[in-house]
Each structure stands twice: as structure tokens, then as C-alpha cells.
Structure 1
């Protein structure tokens, strides 16, 4: 037996460390600051974990240091003044070394503090991370909400699936994997009472925005994505009435009426989508929301009711303008699917956010040129062109490693906007320039600029669009 001291804690601190405004939850990892139109999102998994800890009567702080524009000095001040018994760190592969440096600081302030890290990185590099960072006590490999609940309730660490930890003798112990946690409706609502909700805003209107989980998982096996791997290729949806209860709480308690629906495949189950949207309409919530969708799971029935319930933006993983690249990446869509999805959005007045990837192992300059041309042909409202990043645990990681297309030591410090993986024909420097070229060609079209100007509804929106356009030029297109 390895005694679990977590149930004895009195004070907990959960943090996004000050290593950049990044995606760190689930499949999404990387800098938001180097993308074109992504809003800053609450640390949703941390907020769920914080709610579970609060539910045990434990004093809990949740700090999103990057969104607070805080420094390492602020982290040290929080640790010194609050002196928690438990520290939970949100970690992403692109920032892992920087993120976990906080554990050393925490142990210097309180040697008895329990340090826990969560993140998809640990599904592969759990043992290596504990060996590399001696001040880290334990990692939760995935299903972090269920893992946190067990850590608060079970006395023996060896009986908790899905964790890797350091025992009293400093031996690293890896427990069996946790089975997929399906009862997501049993989770409390995220602990928004601990967040500075006013700091999370829409990039266009500046209004407060929050994230609501509507489902978990994905049944598809795209070679570049973690979503299927993390969910054993299952999709688990929340009860639509439970989702709308949370939306209603956000509107009434926190005065938030703008939402991003967190789901890897929001539109996959047609009846569920329609049921959720009809309940939003029935309660007359008058909210505005965005979600991600595959291009092949959208039809007129779904789009019509989504628009009526307040959907303003749909994000699509279109990925490539070449069918052969889509096929090799196992995306399972056609170029015609993408054309139909964007056409439906235009018909119902929903903005489309198109996500493309460049730098697949098999890509040449001509392939990428075709992708840029396809983006312009589709003429959606927004686009991002991200470089392929070999997330540990994906098939892409294995393919690129076998082809010797990246240096594993560079996983930290690079992400979907900062290339570390070559193709068989292009260097990382060439990919970086091609990304800038793609963004420039899409956004600096005179017709596109005129269209965007005519859609602006207020001076504040004009100001925000101008600031975002300046950011795209200065920090993405022109930056050396």
C-alpha cells in the first residue's frame, strides 16, 4: 500500500502557469496568441477539478496566470501567501519544461506540498517527466476529473487507475490505465466562482465569453489529432437539459451570454444537436455561441436549428486543399464536403472559421499552394493555417519519428504555430514562411477587407477588428 495524503489536504491551488496564453486541455495544445481569431478560453479541466475539490469542503484557489498577465513573481507570491497543501499544474507538450518548473518553486516554499500535473503529454511521457522533474509527485494521465475524485476519496494510491506517482522510496509507479469515464453528467459545473470571468472575452465585441463542455471524445482516427486516442474513439454526450442548465446558470449568475461549446465533434449526433438547440430556444435564453464541427456531419436541419438557437460561428477542420493529403491523414472527408459546409453557413448567416494544416510529411510546396487556393475559393469568414505538430500519442508522431522529420528534444518550445516538423520536401523555415504567406494571401485580399468592414456593427467592434488585424500583421505575418 502507498498511502495517499491528498484526502488530508486543507488548501488547494490549481494553476495555468505563466508560460503563455495556450490551449492545454485535451487535444488542443499550443499558443493562442499566434493564431488569428481564437478567443482566450477558461481552463475548463482545471475548473472541473476545482469544483470537485471545493465539493469536499477544501479551500480552493484557481489561478489562470497567463490570462491575468501575471509573472513568475506573482506565482511565488501566491504560493508564499496562500501556502497550499496541494498544487495542480496544467501542462501542455509545447510548454512542458517551463510549466513544470513551478514544482521546484512550490517545494522550496513548502517541502510537504503535494505537486500534481495533468495534461495529454503524460499519456506517453509520464515516467520520463517524473524522472526529469524530481519535485513533481504525481501525474494524472487522462480522465482528470475522475482521477481527481479518486485522489480525494481513496487511501491507497496503488488502487487509483490512470495515475503515475513517486512512492515513499522515490520509486516511480505506473498504475493501469483508467477506463473511459462515461458518466459526465455526474460532474459538478465548473468552478467559475474561482475564475476572473471578465478577462475571457470575444475577440470581436469584447463581451464576456465562457466555455461549456457539451460532449467528450471522437470516433475518428485522424493521424494528427489526440481526440480519438484520448477517448478510445468514443463519443460521450451530456444530457442536453443539463447543458442548458449550465448555460442558464452562466447567464443568470455570471451575466455571461456568449459561449464556446467545447466538443470535438459537436454535430455528430443529429437528434442530440436538435434537442439541445430546441431546449435553448424553449427557455428563451437569448445567447450567442460557437462550436466546432466536421464538414461531413452538417446538414440543413442541423444548421437551421443551430442558427435559430444563437449559433454565430462554426469552426471546421478542413485541413487541406488536396484530396490525397486528406486521405493519407485519414481525415475521412472530401473537398466537396467542405464546400457544402461553407455554403450552408453562408445560406444561414453563420460565420465560418476554417482551420487548415500545412506540413504533412508528404507535402510539397505545390500541395500547400493548393490548400491556400482552396481556402480562398471557399471564402469563409476566418481562417487559420497551422503547422503540423507531432503530438505524442498520435499516429503522426510515429510516422514523423520513423521518417526522422523532427528532433524529439524540440517538442517543448514549438506548437501548431511554430514549426518543428519537416516534410520530406520542405524545411521548418520554409514551412514557417509558407504559413505567413497563407495568412497574408487569405486576409489581405481587397474584397475580403471590404466585406469585413461592411459587417462591423459598432465602433468597439471596429476597434477590436483593427487591433486583431494589426496583431496578425505585426506578430504573425511580419515577425521574423
Structure 2
């Protein structure tokens, strides 16, 4: 049996590096979810191919050659880009009218049967985790299962959309085979706004699913599937994958929502990596700002953890409390000070547009992040995403329809004190004020030299001699 899995662009515009305000779009991460599904398909003895349309817009002729003999195709659907999936499904059907199309991903999980109405060319929609579900779908294609018997799907039967059996959570994540990384071209990934890791063979991995915390802005599956909870892979299983990656890759990003949730497990993982002597560079993408563990940071440094992204979100305590972050500004300062002492490259995520946020709040955030030992910032505009507590509350208050899955926090909808254009402008101002500081630039040059990071040093020099440096010479006064 042959299948083809399609990944679509899942790109988020961000203000550019060092005051470069041309929004960068970056297919940073490989399609990890599809790589897990592909691994399961291969373990069953079947053929599978991954086509990532975020890397290259392949021609109809190229796609046709790959799907003409396939038994089914799968499309990973994100809600903010589901129209791309709709167009792709239509395109596939125009090339091969009888082919079975299966869709999955966040859009299907939150919209359920509506996702099949959104993409009428698809016959099956998979909700939540697909590793076990795909096994059952293959049995259906072999004539060994009825769709009504398969848990975790919605399916089309004639003009009706029906539901399979209730979804079954994968309790033991160690049972899932490692992703089929050989099916993608690693050189196409790892391109962050501030660094191109693709040059040293980049990949990503995930060691847990879900998050035990409840930040109000975060889209949560448990708001539509109450049984969905936080689960972790064992330290042994995580180390086994990292040791395998150590022999094949130069850099890996751990993309958990919160990798250091279980400090005891983190210690075990790093202890084992120290014993193995791995040298792969590691980035930890999701980290809270309430971790002040010098012993843990020392172990992380010894196993080549180089980059850490912290969820700072705001420089205002009342905004952090509104988001239910359960951290304080002092905890943020202390954690980032310790991380800087160990020489990590530290990034912070920020969110603009909370309903209680004013211009004064934004200025406070600028002052706060400029006082922190940060190397990079990622500035987001608040969206009320389907599944988040903010979205649920806004639906109850009648500010958002239950059919709206992604609504910007704007004054026109009674969700913030700013228009969308104002938030975009502030997003750019925050980035510019942070990056275009002489103290910051000098520190980055010294850090690049000390780390022998020639690529980053070249990038800094390129920015300094560009026209973007005028943003430093003639700064904008946002406090007016």
C-alpha cells in the first residue's frame, strides 16, 4: 500500500532581526506530526512519501506522478491556513478524481465534522493523535474494518458526515516509533529569523504532549476533549532518540510546550546525555520563567544546550496575572540572569494586545525586555484562538462566534484597546527598540566572537552596514 502525506506552509510573520522590519516567513521546523504518521505506516510494511509545500511549490506534474499510484493522501491542516489545504485537496482531486483524501491536524481537532465541510474533497478527518488511527484506516482500506469502528475520526458517507468511535488517548508515548526523518530534506529546515541552522543539518523532536499549565491565551485541546492531558515520554526513550540524532545531525530543537515541566525527568535526561558524551547542539523551545536551578543549568550547558526560548509575554505584572501565567517579574529577571550567567542564547516570546493593556503597558514591556539579558525576542499579537480560555470566555460573552476560530484582539471587537494596524505598528516598534541598542549590538558581537560563531557575526555586520541601521541612529520615541 502506498500513501503520500502533504505538509502545508505554517508560517507566522514576525518583525525581522536587528530592526529589519520586513516580515520574515520561515518554514523553521520539519513536519514532525506527519513524520510520526509516516513512521507508523512504514512499520506496517507500507510505502509512504512526504511532500512539504512550505519548502517548494511543486508542479501539478510532480504531484501527479507521486499520487497516481497512491492508495490515499493525507493533508495536515492548520486552522489559520485551512484554505491552502482546501485548495490543495481540490488540486489533488483534479489530478486523480478517485483518490482517498484524509485530513488531520488542529483544524480537524477543533472543528471536527465541520472540517469535512470546509474541505469537501476529503472523506476522513482525524482528530487529535493520528498514530493509532492511521493503523485502523489502513485496515479499513484492506477491507478489515468499517469506518464506523475506527476511534477518533469523522467520515463522509454519501451526503452525510458520521462519527467513528470515541477517541482513544495514547497513554504510553514510548510506544510511538521515532519520526521518519529520512523522508524529508533536512537542509530545508532550521531557518530562524536570527540564524540559519540548516547549514549544520537540523531537525526537531518532541518529548511530551500537552501542558499542565493553563495560560489563558493558549489554544488547548482539553477545552474540546476533556480527557486530553499532559503526558511525557520516559527519560530513557528521550535519550535513546537524542543519541540516535547525535550520530546524524548537528542541531536539534526540542519543541515541547514546556520541556522542563518535570525537573526530575530533565535531570535524568541530561545525566544520561553527559554519560553518553553527546555533542549535538540543542535548543529548548518552550520554557517557563520560574526555573532557578543552577545544577540543572550546569548539566544543560555540559550537553550543549545552546539556545533557550522563555515565555516572558509581558513586562507588566497585571498582564501576566490576566494571562494566568503564574510567574512574577522578579522570577523572570532571576531566571534569565542565571541563564545568561551560563552563556545560553536566550530568547523571549512577547504578546501584545491584552484587553487590559494600554500604551503605558507596552512602554513598560519595552523597558523591561531591554533591561533583561536577552539575545532575541519574538513579538506576537494576541489572537483569540479556538480552544483557548480567552476564546471560550469571549464566545460566552457574545464577542466571538463559536464558528470563528482565530480573532485578533482588536478594539473593534471589544477585545483590546488597539486597532490591528496599531498592534502591528507596536509589534515593529518593540522589535526595533530592542534590537537597535548600541549596548545590545556590542554584546552580540562579543558573544559571537567568544562562541566562535562566524555565521552570526557575519549576520550582525551585514545588518550594521545596511540601511536598517538608520533605525538606531534615528530612533523612534514611543513614549511621546
Q: Confirm whether residue 51 of structure 1 aligns to residue 39 of structure 2.
A: yes
Tell me, in whole angstroms, the C-alpha distance in 1 between the residues paired with 2:166 and 2:463.
43
Deviation at 1:357, TM superposition (A): 0.5
Contact 1:166/1:173 (8 A) holds in 2: yes
In structure 1, the partner of 2:100 is 114
* Structure 1 pair 102–379 and aligned structure 2 pair: CA distance change class (3 A): same
Structure 1, unaligned stretches of length 5 or more? Answer: 1-9, 23-29
Q: Confirm whether residue 245 of structure 1 aligns to residue 245 of structure 2.
A: no
**Which residue, out of 124, 133, 152, partners 1:162?**
152
Q: Confirm whether residue 78 of structure 1 aligns to residue 67 of structure 2.
A: no
Contact 2:76/2:104 (8 A) holds in 1: yes
Contact 1:224/1:329 (8 A) holds in 2: yes
Superposed CA deviations along residues 380-420 of structure 1, whole A, max 9, x for unmatched, are 111111011222111122334456667888857x889x999
The 3-state SS of whatever aligns with 1:121 is helix
Superposed CA deviations along residues 308-341 of structure 1, whole A, max 9, x for unmatched, are 1111111111111111111121111111121111
Tell me, in whole angstroms, the C-alpha distance in 1 between the residues paired with 2:401 and 2:423.
16
The 3-state SS of whatever aligns with 2:125 is strand
Superposed CA deviations along residues 2-39 of structure 1, whole A, max 9, x for unmatched, are xxxxxxxx21111113xx453xxxxxxx4579777988
Q: Confirm whether residue 146 of structure 1 aligns to residue 132 of structure 2.
A: yes
Tell me, in whole angstroms, the C-alpha distance in 1 between the residues paired with 2:271 and 2:62.
47
Tell me, in whole angstroms, the C-alpha distance in 2 between the residues paired with 1:62 and 1:463.
34
The 3-state SS of whatever aligns with 1:313 is strand
Residues 311-320 or 390-399, more deviating: 390-399
Tell me, in whole angstroms, the C-alpha distance in 2 between the residues paired with 1:471 and 1:393.
42
Residues 302-311 or 465-474, more deviating: 465-474
Tell me, in whole angstroms, the C-alpha distance in 2 between the residues paired with 1:468 and 1:150.
53
* Structure 1 pair 289–470 and aligned structure 2 pair: CA distance change class (3 A): farther
Contact 1:218/1:231 (8 A) holds in 2: no
In structure 1, the partner of 2:326 is 332
Deviation at 1:54, TM superposition (A): 1.2
Deviation at 1:95, TM superposition (A): 0.8
In structure 1, the partner of 2:87 is 101
Residues 350-359 or 156-165, more deviating: 156-165
**Which residue, out of 437, 447, 464, partners 1:445?**
437
In structure 2, the partner of 1:322 is 316
Tell me, in whole angstroms, the C-alpha distance in 2 between the residues paired with 1:301 and 1:470.
41
Tell me, in whole angstroms, the C-alpha distance in 2 between the residues paired with 1:218 and 1:238.
13
Q: Confirm whether residue 14 of structure 1 aligns to residue 5 of structure 2.
A: yes
Superposed CA deviations along residues 141-187 of structure 1, whole A, max 9, x for unmatched, are 101223223322451222222211112x2211134542432211111
Tell me, in whole angstroms, the C-alpha distance in 1 between the residues paired with 2:338 and 2:3.
47
Tell me, in whole angstroms, the C-alpha distance in 1 between the residues paired with 2:376 and 2:170.
35
Tell me, in whole angstroms, the C-alpha distance in 2 between the residues paired with 1:75 and 1:469.
43
In structure 1, the partner of 2:19 is none
Contact 1:15/1:62 (8 A) holds in 2: yes
The 3-state SS of whatever aligns with 2:162 is strand
RMSD: 3.2
Deviation at 1:447, TM superposition (A): 0.9
Deviation at 1:233, TM superposition (A): 6.3
Contact 1:405/1:424 (8 A) holds in 2: no
**Which residue, out of 59, 65, 90, partners 2:53?**
65
In structure 2, the partner of 1:273 is 266
Q: Provide TM-score, normalisation by structure 1.
A: 0.85
**Which residue, out of 175, 181, 184, partners 1:192?**
181
Contact 1:389/1:421 (8 A) holds in 2: no
Deviation at 1:208, TM superposition (A): 1.7
In structure 1, the partner of 2:478 is none
Q: Confirm whether residue 352 of structure 1 aligns to residue 346 of structure 2.
A: yes
Deviation at 1:50, TM superposition (A): 0.6
Tell me, in whole angstroms, the C-alpha distance in 2 between the residues paired with 1:425 and 1:419.
5
Residues 393-402 or 305-314, more deviating: 393-402
**Which residue, out of 357, 367, 381, partners 1:363?**
357
Q: Provide TM-score, normalisation by structure 2.
A: 0.85
Q: 1:316-465 maps to which residues of 2 (within 5 A)?
A: 316-401=310-395, 423-456=415-448, 457-465=452-460
Tell me, in whole angstroms, the C-alpha distance in 1 between the residues paired with 2:467 and 2:295.
35
Contact 1:266/1:293 (8 A) holds in 2: yes
Deviation at 1:293, TM superposition (A): 1.1
Tell me, in whole angstroms, the C-alpha distance in 2 between the residues paired with 1:464 and 1:210.
22
Contact 1:51/1:189 (8 A) holds in 2: yes
Structure 2, unaligned stretches of length 5 or more? Answer: 17-22, 473-480
Tell me, in whole angstroms, the C-alpha distance in 1 between the residues paired with 2:402 and 2:39.
36
* Structure 1 pair 303–459 and aligned structure 2 pair: CA distance change class (3 A): closer
The 3-state SS of whatever aligns with 1:324 is helix
